[in-house]
Amino acid sequence: MSGKPQFDEAAVIAAAMAVFRRHGYAAASIADLTEATGLSRSSLYQRFGDKDGLFQEALAEYTQRVLRRMNAAQADTARSRLDALLRGFLPDASAPPRPAGCLIARSCAELVDLSAAGQGAALAAAARQREILANLLREGQAKGELRHDADVDALAWHFLGILQAILNFPNAGADAGLLDRVIDVAMSAWPAHPRT
């Protein structure tokens, strides 16, 4: 035996990610995780150490996926790219179903239940999302699309809140059409023609 895991790690982490998105960290039991991943308790503990270790790897993978999607938005202007970024997360009925909600936001809401390392990972993930948005805003300032006196920090938090609404409000009954209108309203915080 090589000592290497005899299972598909990516599939295990994806299955655990779905459990943590559905239940949250505190409510996700080892039984839930072993059932979803197909691992025995001993294999789970041997490879990941404990629930917290598996959670941190699931959160890291989720964060990378979200950041890739955020960075993939394409458009001619910074403002249009931000608009495309937000609309890229709208629910898509034609796409394969995925768990609703955002693991980053859920983890930040559960900070009290996380280990110190888990807390740090959750806060860092949210900060990385916010930095992508802030960079778009700064680019807009540099190119004259956004006033130089605009409050980039406040706007970055604003648009992060809208992104979280898009990811989480479907659980509360908001459909894609309504969320599309929410984006229209949110984008009014960044005027299309700030110099006029």
**What sign results for the dihedral spanned by CA atoms 49, 51, 54, 57?**
negative
How far apart, in Å, do the first and last CA atoms of the chain sit?
A: 70
> Does 2 map to a domain?
no
- Per-residue pLDDT tens digits for 53-63: 999 999 999 99
DSSP 8-state secondary structure symbol assigned to residue 39: -
pTM: 0.90
> Does 23 map to a domain?
yes
> Does 1 map to a domain?
no
Full residue range of the structural domain in which residue 28 is found: 9-187
What CATH code is carried by the domain that includes residue 114? 1.10.357.10
How confident is the prediction for the chain on average, in pLDDT? 92
pLDDT the model gives residue 193: 54
User: When comparing pLDDT for 111 and 92, which is higher?
Assistant: 111
> Does 92 map to a domain?
yes
> Does 88 map to a domain?
yes
Number of domains in the chain: 1
> Does 192 map to a domain?
no
**Residue 73 carries which side chain, given as an amino acid letter?**
A
> Does 144 map to a domain?
yes
> Does 76 map to a domain?
yes
What is the mean pLDDT of the segment spanning 73-81? 96
pLDDT the model gives residue 1: 41
pLDDT the model gives residue 195: 52
d(CA 114, CA 165): 23
- Per-residue pLDDT tens digits for 128-151: 999 999 999 999 999 999 999 999
**Least reliable range by pLDDT among 5-14, 58-67, 152-161:** 5-14
